Structures are given as structure tokens and as C-alpha cells.
């Protein structure tokens, strides 16, 4: 393996189904490594929000392509986390509603949207020193990423985590229906035509079902640091 050719460090790709803990772990790992964190789900959510505001439906590919050319999506550090900016507007809260989540699931399956965001994501990560989290980072966006993780947990455990989150927000849902929704979302993400959720052949698998967040974080950090040493030696 050759030394990293990227200016700021390596590229770390984190893929996996929803509820596997990608967002929290990416944020924490980025902080430990001093890397930039790129939440690609937030980018798809931003497109969905802007499409909704512009009255563009999920199947209107030409309009979606046009919309994407006018969007500048970025991230800005904000204390422990980050803000999501679209053309300078802070959309961090607006993209997290249930309604935008549902629309995003459809919008993110459209080819013009994927193509536009693929170009943006490659540009954002080109210099390295970044962790990108999503569904197709290790397979499509950066198949040459130096470190790849595929993070998963059983559907029951992911459903349970989501259910606890919803309950804490005061939402009235049953555990069974939350698990059923997780399974449905997995099927949609795995079977869509463009860039489906798929494990890269060279990804390190981590099943977090029975692990604490700190245990997973330590394992990821050790893996990245070991890879950095290996690259330095060669």
C-alpha cells in the first residue's frame, strides 16, 4: 500500500443502515482524529427541504437537477456538533423533521440528485482528513478510501434505540411499529436502483448490537490509527 497522497490525511468511509449509530460515532471519531465530519444524509435532506419549498415533486428529475446546480451545501462547526448551511442559511433543524425524512428517502433515490451530490461530496473530501458517513461512501463516492467501516446492529436493536429517542421526544409510538419501520427503511435503501446500501468488500464490519458507543469508538479509532501507521511505513 502506498502512503496517503492526500494533503490533509486519509479518507474514512462509514456506511450502514439507519439507526446503527453512524452519526454519533462519526462526530466523536472526527473529534478524536481532528478530522472534518461530512454527514451526507444531511446533504440529501437539504435537497429535499429545498425541493419542498420550491414545490418540486420527487419524480421531477429535470427540476431536481436544476435545483441542485443552485445549491451550495456546507457544514460549520458549532460547539460539539455542526450546523448545516444551504446557500448560507442554517437548515440544521428544518431538515430533521419526520416529513423531510420521508421525502428524503424518495429524493435520495433519484439519479440527478445522486449525481449532483456525488460531485459535491468528492470535492469536499478530495484533500483527505475527512470522515464521510452515508450509505454508499465506500462503494461509490470514495471506493479508494483508505479506511472503510460498515456499521450495523440488529433491526430489533436499531428499532429499540429509535423508539427510545422518539419516546424521549414525547412521541407516542410502540416498539413493534418502530422496528417494523426500521425494517421497511432497510429494504428501501437496499433495493433502490441507484447507489443502494451495500457493504464494500474491503470494509471493516462492526456489529454494535451488544457494544457500547465507547467500545465501538475505541475500536474504530484503533483501526484508523493502525492503518495510518501501516501507510506511514510503506
Which residue, 213 or 226, is less far from ligand DC as judged by CB?
A: 213
Minimal distance in Å, beta carbon 107 to ligand DC?
Answer: 8
Among 135, 148, 158, 162, which residue interacts with ligand DC (rule: CB under 6 A)? 135
Minimal distance in Å, beta carbon 231 to ligand DC?
Answer: 25
d(CA 150, CA 135): 9
CA distances from 164 to 172, 175, 210 (A): 11, 9, 16
* Per-residue contact flags (x/-) with ligand DC for residues 171 to 210, judged by CB under 6 A: ------------------x---------------------
Among 26, 40, 46, 152, which residue interacts with ligand DC (rule: CB under 6 A)? 40
* Per-residue contact flags (x/-) with ligand DC for residues 137 to 166, judged by CB under 6 A: ------------------------------
In the chain, what are the helix, strand and coil shares in percent, each to the nearest 5?
A: 50, 15, 30
d(CA 147, CA 13): 6
Half-sphere exposure of 212 (CA within 13 A, CB side): 3
CB atoms within 10 A of CB 142: 22
SS3 11: strand
User: CB under 6 A: which stretch of 128-136, 145-153, 164-172, 198-206 binds ligand DC?
Assistant: 128-136
d(CA 151, CA 82): 22
Which residue, 191 or 218, is less far from ligand DC as judged by CB?
A: 191
Please report whether residue 136 would count as binding ligand DC according to CB under 6 A: yes
Stretch 61-120 residues interacting with ligand DC (CB under 6 A): 104-105, 108
139: DSSP letter: I
Provide the binding-site residues for ligand DC, judged by CB under 6 A.
18, 40-41, 44-45, 104-105, 108, 134-136, 189
Amino acid at each position: 500500500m502506498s502512503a496517503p497522497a492526500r494533503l490533509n490525511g486519509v479518507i474514512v468511509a462509514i456506511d450502514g443502515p439507519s439507526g446503527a449509530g453512524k452519526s454519533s460515532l462519526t462526530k466523536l471519531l472526527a473529534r478524536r482524529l481532528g478530522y472534518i465530519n461530512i454527514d451526507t444524509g444531511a446533504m440529501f435532506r437539504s435537497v429535499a427541504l429545498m425541493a419542498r419549498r420550491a414545490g418540486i415533486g420527487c419524480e421531477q428529475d429535470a427540476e431536481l437537477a436544476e435545483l441542485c446546480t443552485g445549491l451550495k451545501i456546507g457544514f460549520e462547526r458549532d460547539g460539539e456538533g455542526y450546523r448545516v448551511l444551504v446557500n448560507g442559511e442554517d437548515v440544521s433543524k428544518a431538515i430533521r423533521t419526520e416529513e423531510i425524512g420521508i421525502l428524503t428517502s424518495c429524493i435520495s433515490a433519484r439519479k440527478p440528485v445522486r449525481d449532483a451530490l456525488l460531485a459535491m461530496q468528492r470535492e469536499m473530501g478530495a484533500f483527505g482528513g475527512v470522515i464521510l458517513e452515508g450509505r454508499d461512501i465506500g462503494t461509490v463516492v470514495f471506493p479508494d478510501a483508505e479506511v472503510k467501516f460498515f456499521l450495523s446492529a440488529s433491526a430489533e436493536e436499531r428499532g429499540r434505540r429509535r423508539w427510545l429517542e422518539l419516546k424521549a421526544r414525547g412521541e407516542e409510538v410502540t416498539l413493534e411499529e418502530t422496528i417494523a419501520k426500521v425494517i421497511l427503511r432497510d429494504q428501501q435503501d437496499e433495493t433502490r436502483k441507484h447507489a443502494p446500501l451495500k457493504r464494500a468488500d474491503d470494509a471493516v464490519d462492526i456489529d454494535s448490537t451488544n457494544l457500547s458507543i465507547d467500545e465501538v469508538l475505541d475500536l474504530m479509532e484503533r483501526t484508523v490509527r493502525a492503518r495510518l501507521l501501516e501507510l506511514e511505513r510503506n
